[in-house]
């Protein structure tokens, strides 16, 4: 990787992580089916009342997406840490911040994007109108990258720590709350016929902040973990 330019190096990392994910299909499918099953169980549990389903739909979908994204966070850097690849990334001439961003992008493509694509079909179970389904898809498209970027910080901070999964949840769940509130709020506002611009704008602002600060913090935490 040392002889590669920046763009080829980033593309190589994304391609490598996607190939590794395809080889571990069970991990990818676990995240996907966890989201589908959790969302689908609620209509069965609360009954077929349309008004109730429309009320709980935003919170159910977003909480399920949040929990599903956390299932794969522990593997974001762990395999590279165990086989020595992470040390090579840190020593490479390319900025570690951008390399971390490439890994987060691959993580989102595998765990976040499938949730965004299947969410409208799952939203039909809650009798959501078409505009609300569109808003939910847009909100997830803005919010799930935030979850991956924030989760990368927690994954880096807990790298090599005993009981990392429990500690990771404690670290990142409070940081997920703003994304959860405004993501679910956008869908609720759309279903109620209210404006959603404010909610989506805030999600976009969260994404920009996470894009700037997330890789920086994760890169710093990785350097500390390797010392």
pLDDT tens sequence across 54-67: 999 999 999 999 99
Q: Give the count of domains, the chain.
A: 1
Q: What is the pLDDT of residues 2-45, one digit of tens each?
A: 445 788 888 999 999 999 888 888 878 889 999 999 999 988 88
Q: What is the pLDDT of residues 151-164, one digit of tens each?
A: 999 999 988 777 77
Would you say residue 1 lies in a domain?
no
- For the segment 198-223, the average pLDDT, to the nearest whole number, is 94
Instruction: Look at phi and psi of residue 37 and say left if phi exceeds 0, alpha if psi is from -120 to 50, else beta.
Output: alpha
The answer to whether residue 201 scores a pLDDT higher than 60 is yes
Which structural domain, as residue segments, surrounds residue 56?
Answer: 6-226
The DSSP 8-state label assigned to residue 73 in this structure reads: T
Where residue 136 falls among pLDDT bands split at 50, 70, 90?
very high
Would you say residue 212 lies in a domain?
yes
| Contact of 115 with 140, CB cutoff 8 Å | yes
- Least Cα distance to 125 among 32, 183, 43 occurs for 43
Tokens of 205: 């602002």
- pLDDT for the residue numbered 1: 47
Would you say residue 82 lies in a domain?
yes
Q: What is the mean pLDDT of the chain?
A: 89
Would you say residue 204 lies in a domain?
yes
Would you say residue 112 lies in a domain?
yes
Would you say residue 125 lies in a domain?
yes
Q: Please give the Cα distance from 127 to 124 (Å, whole number).
A: 5
Where residue 191 falls among pLDDT bands split at 50, 70, 90?
confident
pTM metric for this prediction: 0.90
Would you say residue 105 lies in a domain?
yes
């Amino acid at each position: 990787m040392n002889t590669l330019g920046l763009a080829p190096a980033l593309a190589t990392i994304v391609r490598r992580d996607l190939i590794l994910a395809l080889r571990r299909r069970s991990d990818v499918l676990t995240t996907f089916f966890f989201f589908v099953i959790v969302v689908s169980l609620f209509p069965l549990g609360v009954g077929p009342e349309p008004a109730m389903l429309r009320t709980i739909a935003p919170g159910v979908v977003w909480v399920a997406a949040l929990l599903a994204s956390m299932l794969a966070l522990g593997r974001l850097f762990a395999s590279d840490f165990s086989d020595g690849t992470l040390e090579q990334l840190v020593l490479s001439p390319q900025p570690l911040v951008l390399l971390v961003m490439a890994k987060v992008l691959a993580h989102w493509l595998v765990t976040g994007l499938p949730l965004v694509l299947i969410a409208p079909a799952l939203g039909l179970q809650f009798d959501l109108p078409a505009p609300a389904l569109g808003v939910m898809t847009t909100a997830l498209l803005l919010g799930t990258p935030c979850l991956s970027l924030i989760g990368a910080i927690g994954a880096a901070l807990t790298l090599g720590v005993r009981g990392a999964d429990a500690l990771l949840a404690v670290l990142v769940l409070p940081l997920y709350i703003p994304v959860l509130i405004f993501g679910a709020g956008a869908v609720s506002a759309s279903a109620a016929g209210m404006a959603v611009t404010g909610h989506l704008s805030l999600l976009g602002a969260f994404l920009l902040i996470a894009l700037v600060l997330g890789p920086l913090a994760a890169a710093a935490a990785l350097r500390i973990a390797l010392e």
